[in-house]
Structure 1
Amino acid sequence: MLTETQAWDVLHAVPDPEIPVISVTELGIVREVHARDGGLHIVVTPTYSGCPATEVIAQSIRDALVAAGAGEVDVETRLAPAWTTAWITEPAKEKLRAYGIAPPSGDAAVGGAQPIRFVPRKLACPRCGSTDTTRLSQFGSTACKALYRCQSCLEPFEYFKPI
């Protein structure tokens, strides 16, 4: 059997299936770990309620914990409170940037209210740092990301939208 601390250690190594450079804990979707008779109870909150990776994440969590000797593992998906980009760790934001995804920024990224903007914010390109960027699509590879292009280096990049 694993302790809660040992379970957290295992979970820190479980990659997000869509962004493998960050773990499910760095993304902030693992909310709680509870030891119980015969195993563990894990609470996760997906990045949004329709996230297509929710089942894959739950199975990856089960597989990693069982392989580490956790016994029976049940994963509960909890939608409230809703996931927010404020739950992404600071090291994960740097990993996102290095991977080519602009991490969330602004007040909502640190847990505050997001101001209404009538002029779109210029994002810094995660590759070259230029703020001469253009949004190509409100949605990237998933609904939680938008697609941008840097006008300086001409590279496309995704932006993790503050939620």
Structure 2
Amino acid sequence: MHVPTQTVWRWLSEVPDPEIPVLSLTDLGVIRDVRWDEGMLVVTVTPTYTGCPATAVINLDIETKLRSNGIENLRLEQRISPAWTTAWLSPEGREKLRKYGIAPPVEGTANTGRISRLSSKKALVVACPRCGSDKTEKISQFGSTPCKAAYRCRSCLEPFDYFKCH
């Protein structure tokens, strides 16, 4: 079965991330490429970080979705370079995170290969996803998963996760 890659992208946009199910794999930006190669559908996936425990589940979910739509000849390729970055989150994905109660990465702080972000002395201002206040504080560098940090809003007093920049 040979379907247009646009159709495959649409199918993949229906596959939820196993750790943050409000996001699809395409919202997250881990699906890097979809192409046909001599009758074989090749899907390129970049994990959010090397050793991410969700990678095996993500690959299985991709394969399950595509096979349920009649794709028989399928190969998943893992691409770790360039490394995934939160800059690859779609605008829709960022909004879905916010509505879900997770603060999306602060714009302009994703790892794009520049070290200026690492050497900056300016404190990161993370807006509360619930009330929008910028009066927040980091409680812990580690949140509910390794890719999130725990924050608290000093305005509405609610705790929330912040999707850390990578």
The AA in structure 1 aligned to 2:150 is: L
| Gapped regions of structure 2 (runs ≥ 5) | none
Partner Cα distance (1:29, 1:147) in 2: 23
Partner Cα distance (1:65, 1:126) in 2: 34
TM-score by length of 2: 0.90
Structure 2 contact 111–165 (Cα < 8 Å) conserved: no
Deviation, 1:26, is: 0.9
Deviations 1:79-128 (A, max 9, x none): 11100111001111011000011111132349574533324222110001
1:43 alignment counterpart: 44
Q: CA RMSD in A?
A: 1.8
The AA in structure 2 aligned to 1:86 is: A
Deviation, 1:39, is: 3.8
* 1:133 has 2:136 as partner: yes
Identity of aligned residues (%): 52
TM-score by length of 1: 0.92
Partner Cα distance (1:96, 1:112) in 2: 24
Deviations 1:109-149 (A, max 9, x none): 49574533324222110001111111111121222211111
Partner Cα distance (1:81, 1:110) in 2: 11
| Gapped regions of structure 1 (runs ≥ 5) | none
The AA in structure 2 aligned to 1:131 is: D
* 1:122 has 2:147 as partner: no
* 1:7 has 2:27 as partner: no
Deviates more, 1:34-43 or 1:83-92: 34-43
Partner Cα distance (1:117, 1:143) in 2: 23
1:58 alignment counterpart: 59
Structure 1 contact 96–103 (Cα < 8 Å) conserved: yes
Q: Which of the residues 140, 147, 153 maps onto 2:156?
A: 153
The AA in structure 2 aligned to 1:20 is: P
Structure 2 contact 85–111 (Cα < 8 Å) conserved: no
1:77 alignment counterpart: 78
Deviation, 1:28, is: 0.3
What is the total number of aligned residue pairs between the two structures?
A: 163
